[in-house]
Amino acid sequence: MPFLFLGILLVILFVIRGRMNYANRNYGSKVGEFLEAEREANEARRRDIPEELFYRPDVSAFSLPRVALGGSEDAADKLRESILALAKTPMLRFGPGMTNRELKLTYGAANIDFIAECEENFNDFVNRLHEYSAALYAAGMLDDAETNMLECVRAGTGAAAPYRLIADVCAEKRDAEGFESLREAAEDADMEMLIKNRILEYIDSKKINGAE
């Protein structure tokens, strides 16, 4: 009986060891593949970024009438100046499906810092334009706020705030057609699915409460 128990124990240990060795080899293989892919991406040569990928806003299409921000028109003026200044900077917006490794392989590792700066410019521009437009909305300038946020949507923003503000405007104006157009734009947008679903839920909730 002791020998039988010892034999069973040895078999179990053998099986466990075999599985551990397999797991270690599999893990090592995946690590090796990852490191090789990173090496290839980091050695990718720099390539020019196509001009059509840059977002260059037409500031004449925006509507930025003077308004108070937090009770201060001076603060709003400074925000407006920063928006116009950012509009002159290079801006890019790549969707969530484009990883850093893919960006390196496509445009070269040397371009990554520049791409990150351009994406930051874009996000900053959208955020500031939304802040100004929210002040316009609060002041009852609905069309002006909507005009600005629609441009952000057309530019391909992945942020929820512009969509939410447009939905607020549509609710105030009881614009059923506007809701439909906004929902279609959100459904087609290249953004994180979680954010998209929340946007769609918000649009639907505002439509129920605002316009049918």
- pLDDT averaged per 10 residues in sequence order, the chain, 212 residues: 58 64 56 60 80 93 91 92 97 86 90 95 97 96 97 94 97 94 95 95 85 51
Structure token digits, residue 69: 């921000």
Instruction: Specify whether the CB–CB gap between 107 and 100 falls below 8 A.
Output: no
pLDDT at 89: 97
Element (H, E) at 186: helix 176-188
Distant-in-sequence, close-in-space partners of 91: CB < 8 Å, separation ≥ 6: 54, 55, 56, 57, 118, 119, 121, 122, 125
For residue 5, give the DSSP letter.
H
Tell me, what's the pLDDT at 152? 95
Rounded to whole angstroms, how far apart are CA atoms 108 and 99?
13
Q: Are 149 and 166 in contact (CB under 8 A)?
A: yes
Can you give the length of the chain in residues?
Answer: 212
* Sole residue written with tokens 């037409």: 58
- pTM score of the predicted model: 0.79
∠ Cα 185 85 115 (to 5°) = 65
